[in-house]
Chains A and B, each alone.
Chain A
């Protein structure tokens, strides 16, 4: 039997020492909701699993009106959803968490795991690699069925979509992420954590094999109007086809600054300054929201079968903006 070592360190320092410095050797195990599928589908075959759930300091939600929100990487999606402070001050995040419709996954899945989960591209999951090429080097996505693939940031060679529903609202709130590795702590905007791999050796995260995500820091609420809107085919657990999270700084009825981030449309959570720009100094109306939606997808392109997602992304942006100012109404 192919042996897998299992380690359960108590501190992040121990964890990092147990992790190898090359990908594939070892793997971090949090809630396991994604990692176990990767193992069972033979996408990865590490020789050691490092369970980080015993590391106490990676847990907990702390809120301070002046410092903001601190989420330990091990906070479960359910804990996030149940926290009244999150719902009150960061509604776009709570709404995104609601979209993960399975109680089992919400109970086990962690915030850190949601950001670090691997793409659901069906070629990647079938063992054709992150960039999904066949033996002749052809892109399976371009030649095959790309109905769920990227409409933005899809110049290649990566065409998968970023699966995280929590990243777009975190980026909209300008959250930062802390990593711990052999060299100590690194900190970066959540948005910088995601990147489009250019070769099979690269990853979709700025994460080293022996680093772990330790916490996420969201700046104090500035009275933004914020919301998330997901286009999903099913009410039951289902991957969204497109999502948008928006955070609008308001001066009365007028938008002074905006952050608009789309999910499930590009290999990374897609920040759209173009869309945000259209809102500045405007009062939100249906037409203004619509124009922002148009701007958000201006650079989108179909890969063949996924053209409909352009429309879905446009609608998601429009509806997220309207929901933000109408406080939940569509």
Chain B
């Protein structure tokens, strides 16, 4: 079934500008109606015959050793079908909420009662859940060696202006609206069927195979729709393996485990914190000379990531040192653009503070140093200009501190960001049936980014068919393997594989029908549901007539990425600006407007691309203003594992959002590049800068809550703090 294209790699290209019927247009997502009508099935909605409900007993302590476990009452309870000890006596527990025992029962209340009946004795050990002070972390702090670029000492001596500040952002969670979870069932002794909320349909079987002791090929994974992942759903997780074990113990009956909201927030994903003492040296004209950073952060026992500092601006002389703090907060996971939002805040805030010290417009400071951004300098220059126009920078920007009367102070801020986004490895099978219908199968997943829609557009564009003639089947590990959706790699991967498959399929179809049209295959084209001779549209046949020549045998072609031709590449730039109002009597920050200007190479669907930016700005406003995994020092527990005090932005909180996608020469020819992550990088920094511009002083840490804003104002002094 696999045939390779005889043509040269140069022919695997995207259609030229002016020849794109669908690509780049503003098209609605194909699964939109299913989602808004509630027909779309999420893992949460999966109900299997005879299904049991799994629940997990979790450690109330942040650091402890299990002394004993007594599950006898649970085991005797009517309705309880399986009890499985996940971590037995003697095991050391490293965070509150860690899994100890799982049960499966006929319904949720029974499972909960069973959990409540289990007695666990712990030896409580000392815990560390703060991350703001590496000094207090003792030997849990793991400093790395200092890194030097150029000659920072000389450069700081040479600098005419030096600013220094401390900045940071706390651990936050992914807070997927659909929590993590799955339904696992043994179809027979050897074969497991798993419905799971995942970002990695193709790689889940392999991850489950070893712990379960069966070949990966015996595990089938399915997922139709997902309610958010953001980097936290690549693994089957311990509870995934546990669900399979419970199912086995219960004679193969399906077992469903969906995390409760509190577990979701406690254990199923956290973004590492980052703090830094930053020093920047520059000439009076704004030329950046020197950077020094002492940074630290935590991602739980793993210590967390290391933000790439300084971010984007390659300041010629640098001294950098980072300390990873291990602590008992629960493990970090990749969170939409790992390490970048942190690096962006630490860098852009320091640069904006420098601009304030220089009494310079930060936009001018950025433009002055734009060459330090490297090969994307021209992109940033264009984007900064467009963003400035869209937000009215020249009209509304003022030197730091809104001098107008009254408690409401308005300010503008900006930030820039970058990301990779090259398409991942992806395979798809495209089948043209003799009746003219087309289907594409691949074991990819649609994270809500519009993967199905992107594949449909590419296939329809290439085959000259309307979108509703293409059936896309994803979310089943039995389909050809496709990469996990991480690193903004999906659209580049699946669109490239689809394009190659569709081009190859057309070649084969052209070869079949060329004689009937009295033409050479290479002179044919597929346009508007017809196969016709280029330049002689009178000589044509309908798509259905053409497909009928296949006889009884459907035509299936395997498309691959990577493959011949440059259909995807890496590296994007984006700019965001924020317009905020701050009530200096209450410290409450409101977003008036945000602008995102973003490039991502060739855009497949303008609408879903813009949606990514809108969603990212909303998520960004959340972590800029509200989100924090609040840990209790005494109990070592998370205090806000709910959506009441783990606050996300609501509709009334996001202000006006404007998105401008870069397209045309200089952008399109780079091929398709991913977009899921880049636009979420800048909001924290842009909003922090806007608040500093509004109130005349830096609020050093996110989220920008009333207490922090008032404290910054108080430190600055002046009359605001009292009325």
Contact = CB atoms under 8 A, between A and B. Distances in A.
Chain A partners chain B: yes
Interface of A: 1-2, 42, 101, 120, 122-123, 126, 134, 138, 140, 143-145, 147-148, 231-239, 241, 290, 293, 305-308, 311-312, 314-315, 318
Contacts of A233: 588, 625-626, 647, 705-706
B649 A234 contact: yes
A42 B262 CA distance: 13
B651 A236 contact: yes
A148 B374 CA distance: 46
Contacts of A232: 588
Contacts of B649: 234, 236
A290 B707 contact: no
Interface stretch (B511-519, B545-553, B628-636): B628-636
B586 interface: yes
A293 B626 CA distance: 27
A113 B586 CA distance: 29
Nearest to B117: A2
Contacts of B707: 147, 305-308
Interface stretch (B38-46, B105-113, B391-399, B599-607): B105-113
5 contacts: A1-B107, A234-B647, A293-B723, A312-B706, A315-B586
Interface of B: 79, 107, 109-110, 113, 116, 585-588, 590, 625-626, 630, 632-635, 637, 639-640, 644-645, 647, 649-653, 705-707, 710-711, 721-723
Contacts of B585: 311, 315
A15 B635 CA distance: 40
A116 B498 CA distance: 60
B634 A234 contact: no
A145 to B, nearest CB: 6
B113 A1 contact: yes
Given A233-B626, A241-B706, A290-B723, 13 more contacts: A1-B113, A2-B113, A101-B650, A140-B632, A144-B632, A145-B632, A148-B645, A234-B626, A234-B649, A239-B644, A308-B707, A308-B711, A312-B706
Q: In the complex, which of the residues B586, B645, B647, B650 has the most CB atoms of chain A within 10 Å of its own CB atom?
A: B586
Contacts of A145: 630, 632-633, 639
B644 A120 contact: yes
Contacts of A126: 635, 637, 639
A140 B705 CA distance: 23
Given A236-B651, A308-B706, A311-B710, A134 B626 contact: no
Given A234-B653, A312-B586, A138 B634 contact: yes
Contacts of A315: 585-586, 723
A330 to B, nearest CB: 9
Contacts of B625: 233
A123 B652 CA distance: 29
A165 to B, nearest CB: 15
Contact of B639 (A122, A236, A238, A290): A122
Given A1-B109, A305-B707, A308-B587, A237 B633 contact: no
A237 B648 CA distance: 10
Nearest to A309: B707
A236 B710 CA distance: 22
B109 A2 contact: yes
A239 B107 CA distance: 34
Contacts of B110: 1
Do most interface residues of chain B lie in helix, strand or loop, or is the interface mixed?
loop
Given A1-B107, A236-B650, A241-B706, A134 B644 contact: no
Contact of B635 (A144, A311, A314): A144
A313 B706 CA distance: 13
A235 B632 CA distance: 27
A232 B626 CA distance: 12
A134 B588 contact: no
A122 B645 CA distance: 9
A149 B103 CA distance: 37
A234 B721 contact: no
A144 B634 contact: yes
B634 A237 contact: no
Contacts of B632: 140, 144-145
Contacts of B650: 101, 234-237
Contact of A236 (B590, B630, B645, B653): B653
Nearest to B78: A1
Nearest 4 interchain pairs by C-beta: A236-B650, A235-B652, A308-B707, A122-B639
Contacts of A234: 626, 647, 649-650, 652-653
Nearest to B111: A1
B691 to A, nearest CB: 14
B723 A134 contact: no
Contact of A235 (B79, B587, B653, B705): B653
Contacts of B640: 122
B459 to A, nearest CB: 40
A1 B55 CA distance: 14
Contacts of B634: 134, 138, 140, 143-144
Nearest to A148: B645
Nearest to B713: A311
A303 B653 CA distance: 29
